[in-house]
Amino acid sequence: MTDHEIKHINIADLPPVAPAVRQYGELYDLAEQYDNEWEANEGVDWEQAEDLVERLGQMAIEDKTYCRRILEILDYTRENDEWDSGEVARFPTLIREDLEGAGKVYSYRQTRDTWTVEGYHLTGEVEWIAEADTETLAYRLLTTLQ
């Protein structure tokens, strides 16, 4: 794997970096699943739409500030008692686009005799950054990246 290669990982395999990475990776996968189902069924499943909005409401406030489209979805659902199916059908795509553009959370972990520094995207992807010989070096790299 090259130093800039990105791979999709199973969310359950993430080290305990930040609960948000796991939560938002699951949200990303769910939005993709609902988008595919709604397209196949040629219509919105309203229970799934409510589930997405409920999950968006559980996001940490500081994370919402980086996700303009997600804020727009929450504003729309708060301001409208009846949701337009055309608007709601766009929710999964808007959610995925926001999470794709949200940046990375960095962490390091011990892997045998070295320390691996990785960047975790909110989509559930992990990017290998570097291998370090000591934890101190890994920590310094991590603080430089953040």
pLDDT over 80 at 45, yes or no: yes
- Which pairs count as long-range contacts for 101-106, CB under 8 Å and 24+ apart, including other chains? 102/24, 102/63, 102/66, 102/67, 103/66, 105/17, 105/18, 105/20, 105/21, 106/142, 106/145, 106/146
pLDDT tens across 47-63, in order? Answer: 999 999 999 998 878 77
Domains of the chain, by residue range, sit at: 6-14+103-145, 19-100
Q: Rounded to whole angstroms, what are the CA distances from 104 to 24, 46, 85, 110, 123?
A: 12, 31, 32, 20, 9
Q: How far apart are CA 54 and CA 89, in angstroms?
A: 16
Contact by Cβ (8 Å): 142, 117: yes
Task: Report the chain's mean pLDDT, rounded to a whole number.
Answer: 83
pLDDT tens across 106-118, in order? Answer: 888 888 899 888 8
- Who wins on pLDDT, 16 or 88? 88
pLDDT over 50 at 12, yes or no: no
Contact by Cβ (8 Å): 133, 122: no
pLDDT tens across 87-106, in order? Answer: 999 999 999 999 888 777 78
Q: pTM score, two decimals? A: 0.72
Q: How far apart are CA 105 and CA 120, in angstroms?
A: 5
Please report, for the chain, how many H helices and E strands are present, in that order: 7, 4
Q: How far apart are CA 93 and CA 46, in angstroms?
A: 16
